[in-house]
Amino acid sequence: MKEIDALLRDKVRMLGNALGHTIRNDLGETTLEQIETIRKQAKKARAGDAAERDKLLALLKGLSDDNLVPVVRGFNQFLNLANLAEQQHDISWRKESIDADQADTMFRDLIPRLAEAGISGTELTEKVASANVELVLTAHPTEVTRRTLIQKYDEVSHLLQARDDLRDEHPTLPAIEEKIARLIDEIWHTDEIRKVRPTAVDEAKWGFAVIENSLWYAIPAMLRSMNQDLISHDAPSLALDAVPIRFSSWMGGDRDGNPNVTSTVTEEVLYLARWMAADLYLRDIEVLGSQLSMYAATPEFKEKYPGHEPYRDCLHGLRTRLEQTREWAQANARGQHCEIEPLLDDEELIAPLQACYDSLVGCGMQSIADGELQDTLRRAACFGLALVRLDVRQESTRHSAVLSELCEFYGWGNYLEWSEDKKQEFLLKELASQRPLIPEFWEPSEEVAEVLATTRVLAQPIGQGVTCYIISMASEPSDILSVALLLQASGVRHKLPVVPLFETLSDLEQSGPRMEKLWQVPWYRDYSSSRQQVMIGYSDSSKDAGQLAAVWAQYQAQETLSRVAREQGYTLRLFHGRGGTVGRGGGPAQRAILAQPPGSVSGGLRVTEQGEMIRFKFGLPEIAERNLKVYISAVLEANLLPPTAPNKEWRDTMSELASSGVTSYRAMVRENPDFVSYFRAATPEQELGKLSLGSRPARRRSGGGIETLRAIPWIFAWTQIRLMLPAWLGADTALSDQIDRGKLATLRTMYSEWPFFRTYIDMLEMVLSKADGEVASYYEALLVEPDMQPLGHVLRERLKNVTARVLQVKEQSELLEDNHALQQSIQVRDPYTDPLHYLQAELLFRERQSADVISTEVEKALMVTMAGIAAGMRNTG
């Protein structure tokens, strides 16, 4: 195996030594030696010797309650620091090799390929400007790291980069390493477990912090870099108002299954976003005010600002308006009435900045104009006054409940019992009516009142900060029309896009025909201006049918929706609800986009980025810049150099795989009477609720089976015990069936020539590389009743089988043969994650067996093991 990059190894060693020094100073040499002994024994046990593993388990079982927390904290913090070192090294100019995906040069390398296809010059720049990518930041509970620690980790990253930038033996190196050691001290003495579950407003503030600390700088830097690449290939620069990529958020708007997101919360978050935007622009204005001291200006600019320093005069007026906007937003966020007139139109922000720019250029000061002023104009075009626009999401039955109570109040009948045709007839009639729909003195139920309170927020000026209204579990055109009616009845005068979300296998299969019915309604065609966004759900479809059947259903749904949209004259934009894990659609963005059906991203791309993946991909400006360019480059390539569509044999084979996969998956998950009990016994699913991860409850409702569990804790729990079941269950049987029928050659051809299938198999391989049947069997031995343990044996044998089948398809002798970086990453982490797994199983056993209240040390140690394993696995939920 190729050796790990020496410089990365040096960073990990330096951080580990600093952590060890901190532990020694805090808890003494004995505790540090204890941690080191466990780590070294875990490394020996990893070699596969049962006797060495027994020695490790004996060490762990011998830990007293007092020693539990220091030991698990030590391993947890090392894993966090290892993640940090890898992340920073990935963007360092001193790394020894470029990544396999060549993210740094992806856009630059794409330009000559586009030129060969006849796309260059002005056309190329126009294509880049119209890429139409939108990343939607979501706060699903996978970010287990506290915000205060994230800030400290970011500072360590900056210091590691400063350390890279200096040559060896540089006199300031010791000072930098001393600062790193001090930060690790601070990290160690900070509680890594939240005591209080964050509110939806807290989550939104976390999202604003990502923009404030990273994306605010990454956007202008990315556009500068892309401009340099365009100019070097004889293409013009991007216009100042070009926005190939934008940002939205679900934080404070996603109320589907989350009773903590109310109309009051949504309103507060919208105002807080305005406050944050005004504050960030004021910081920019402060910098510009000190820079733009020159007196030369065009006659037009001088006429409006006749003073000796006209640019400062112009900026002073803008500063005053921004200060007023900030004050207005702050007052309203607190629920206070404010008479101040704020900036509400983005053009009011952009116009004075553009006037300064044009005057500077007109007076021959292009280089000054293209400095910080250009960056501010780029930010204004991307973020506007809303900073990050909010999506509102609600479940379809909540809207039906509103109409049901209204119909009951008026004596119109039982809306819920009407046929789809009758519902549509009623809704279209009301949409055309001139009288108010909602009676003045009506007293609806609490849930109905809350839905209407939300739509009334969207009718306010602040509601312009909402980009769309998403309907979960949409099944018929009436679901979309009902939302349009409620928005209209609440006073929303702009045509807010209504977005259906198709999640389950059956909904994905029916998505094309259902949208075709809607697009044939004349009223809706006018309302939508023949433009439609449709959201494809990854989480629930995978939980419903298994990952293999889900990915094929998603692929086919996109094909059908794209075809129907073309036939109906609609411009379609697909919105991918991907999570961080493979079981939720995760994986490298570039390969995922290129694996989509040809033509399915022609209307642009919208995709969710969630939880810990936001921090890993966008937490630092340099990393964010790289990943943003990856998205833009991949969408351009998918549209302008599309992959070949699959032939009939491949499609038939994929359909057979999916059919076999879903049958096998459901036979285990739904039909095996012991499966749910085994899942709850073997995994920490029940204990996950003790981690204050996010504002959303882990379950849609109490009790029930797997169907009541959210996709995130479902995957998180299996990841904790390293069985990784949601990503591969069903694929084992499906691949075996095809290979046993003599179709291995076909599968290998599909892997080598079809990006969709190649991406699926590679993602499956990545998950399998993180799976560990031995670890899972230890949880089972401690936690599962003997009569259910045979089920675990079956699952682990199926894990071995799917691994063997993937290796057959890829013609490899071991997993990750062609991905040394991930291989090494897992190798480095195993001696730290293994003790956490074994300790977690032991602690779960103690907690479940104890008749008394367990000690706070055991409780905290259990929670830290969850956080540590999540750090070790990286993509956790």
Do residues 386 and 464 touch, judged by C-beta distance below 8 A? Answer: yes
> What is the amino acid identity at position 5?
D
- In angstroms, the CA 46 to CA 56 distance is 10
What radius of gyration, in Å, describes the C-alpha atoms of the chain?
A: 28
Q: Is 494 a catalytic residue?
A: no
Do residues 439 and 469 touch, judged by C-beta distance below 8 A? Answer: no
- In angstroms, the CA 178 to CA 171 distance is 13
Among candidate residues 320, 334, 274, the one with its CA nearest the CA of residue 462: 274
SS3 (DSSP) at 238: coil
- In angstroms, the CA 421 to CA 427 distance is 10
- In angstroms, the CA 248 to CA 386 distance is 10
Identify the helix (H) or strand (E) that includes residue 470. Answer: strand 466-472
Among the listed residues 543, 629, 743, 860, the single catalytic one is 543
Encoded tokens for 344 = 């509400």
Dihedral of the alpha carbons of 748, 751, 753, 757, in degrees to the nearest 10: 140
Tabulate helix, strand, coil % of the chain (nearest 5). Answer: 65, 5, 25
Q: How far is CA 828 from CA 9, 181, 417, 825, 834, in A?
A: 10, 21, 59, 5, 11
Among the listed residues 89, 140, 629, 860, the single catalytic one is 140
Q: How far is CA 847 from CA 255, 693, 718, 811, 877, in A?
A: 33, 21, 19, 45, 24
Dihedral of the alpha carbons of 380, 381, 386, 388, in degrees to the nearest 10: -110
Q: Is 140 a catalytic residue?
A: yes
Q: H/E/C letters for each residue in 773-787? A: HHHHHHHHHHHCCHH
Contact residues for 733 (Cβ-Cβ < 8 A; gap 6+): 660, 661, 663, 664, 798
Contact residues for 677 (Cβ-Cβ < 8 A; gap 6+): 788
- In angstroms, the CA 357 to CA 370 distance is 8
The b/e string for 808-847 (b: 16+ C-beta within 10 A; e otherwise) is ebbeeeebbeeeebbbbbbebbbbbbbbbbbbbbbbbebb
Do residues 318 and 377 touch, judged by C-beta distance below 8 A? Answer: no
Identify the helix (H) or strand (E) that includes residue 133. Answer: strand 133-138
Beta carbons within 10 angstroms of residue 162's beta carbon: 15
Residues annotated as catalytic are 140, 543
